[in-house]
Amino acid sequence: MKNVIVISDGEARVDLNDPWQFGQESEQVECSARVDEVATWLEHSASNRSHGVLIQKEEELELIAPHLANITMIALTFKDFKDGRAYSLAYLLRTRFHFKGDLRAVGDVMRDQLSLMRQCGFTSFVIKEGKDPFDALKGIKGLSVTYSGSVSNPAPLFKRVRRY
């Protein structure tokens, strides 16, 4: 995949050598890290940690839940800018299912969304085709202060503020 931003050790950077390829792309070139849709992954790759899973619908979380320990990367699809279901799925994967691997936003992903995506638990982002990933990198920081707790900072503001 190209146009990828990765968060590693708390720092965000553009990764021009990202190894992950979607199933159909990986058949055209040799790749060591393949991302398959859920049905394909369950059929062929459920025990292969070098294969990631592409989630496109809510009900697919239940299908992969028993296999989360064997998954290195989960890609969640944003169909368009207005579609917020992947935010909820990311939050559920991190909080309810305790997924520890790479959680990647794919699809209609733009700079304005990155800060909120990070708060929901995303750790990598495939920026929409035609957009500059180096410019989008600036969107990771987003707001300097958030009021409510999140995956990236579970304590709400009132628990983070020092009382004098």
The CATH number assigned to the domain holding 63 equals 3.20.20
3-state secondary structure of 43: helix
Q: What's the structural domain count of the chain?
A: 1
The residue whose two tokens read 């994967």 is 93
Q: Does the pLDDT value for residue 38 go beyond 80? A: yes
SS3 138: helix
pTM: 0.83
Rounded Cα distance between 143 and 31, Å, is 37
The larger pLDDT score, comparing residue 72 to residue 2, is at: 72
Domain that holds residue 119: 4-160
Pairing assessment for the beta strands 33-37 and 51-55 based on DSSP bridges? parallel
Whether 70 contacts 47, CB under 8 Å = yes
Q: What is the pLDDT of residue 100?
A: 93
Give the best-scoring range by mean pLDDT among 5-9, 95-99, 154-158.
95-99
Cβ atoms of 106 and 78 within 8 Å: the answer is yes
Residue 112 has what pLDDT? 86
Element (H, E) at 115: helix 114-120
How far is it, in rounded angstroms, from Cα 110 to Cα 81?
A: 8
Q: What is the dihedral of CA 72, 121, 125, 71, to 10 degrees?
A: 10
**What DSSP designation does 89 have?**
H
